[in-house]
Amino acid sequence: MTLPPSVTLIEEPAGYPILVIEHPAVMGRIALNGAHVTDWIPDGHDPVLYMSAAAVLEPGKPIRGGIPICWPWFGPHPTDSSKPAHGFVRTQMWEVDVARETTAGVDIVLKLSDSAESKALWPHSFSLRLHVHLGASLQVTLQVTNTGSSPWSMTGALHTYLNVEDVTKIAVHGLHGTHYVEGRLSPEKRPQQGTIVIDQEVDRMYISDATVIVHDPLWKRELVIEKAGSLATVVWNPWIEKSKRLADLPDEAYPEFLCIEAANAGEDIITIEPGHEHLLMQRIEVRKL
Element at 237 (helix H, strand E) = strand 232-237
Can you tell me the distance from the alpha carbon of 214 to that of 110, in angstroms, rounded to the nearest whole number?
A: 28
Contacts 24+ apart (CB under 8 A), 176-181: 178/206, 178/207, 178/208, 178/210, 179/206, 179/207, 180/204, 180/205, 180/206, 180/207, 180/235, 181/205, 181/266
SS3 267: coil
pLDDT at 187: 76
Can you tell me the distance from the alpha carbon of 175 to that of 180, in angstroms, rounded to the nearest whole number?
A: 9
pLDDT at 183: 78
Going by C-alpha positions, the residue among 61, 264, 236, 85 that lies closest to residue 162 is 236
Q: Report if pTM > 0.85.
A: yes
Q: Mean pLDDT of successive 10-residue segments in the chain (289 residues)?
A: 95 95 98 98 98 97 98 94 96 98 98 97 98 98 98 98 98 97 81 97 96 98 98 97 96 97 96 98 98
Cβ neighbours around 99 below 10 Å, total: 21
Q: Which residues contact 168 (CB under 8 A, 6 or more apart)?
A: 197, 198, 199, 255
pLDDT at 1: 78
What does R_g of the chain's alpha carbons equal in angstroms? 18
The type of residue at 145 is T
pLDDT at 177: 97
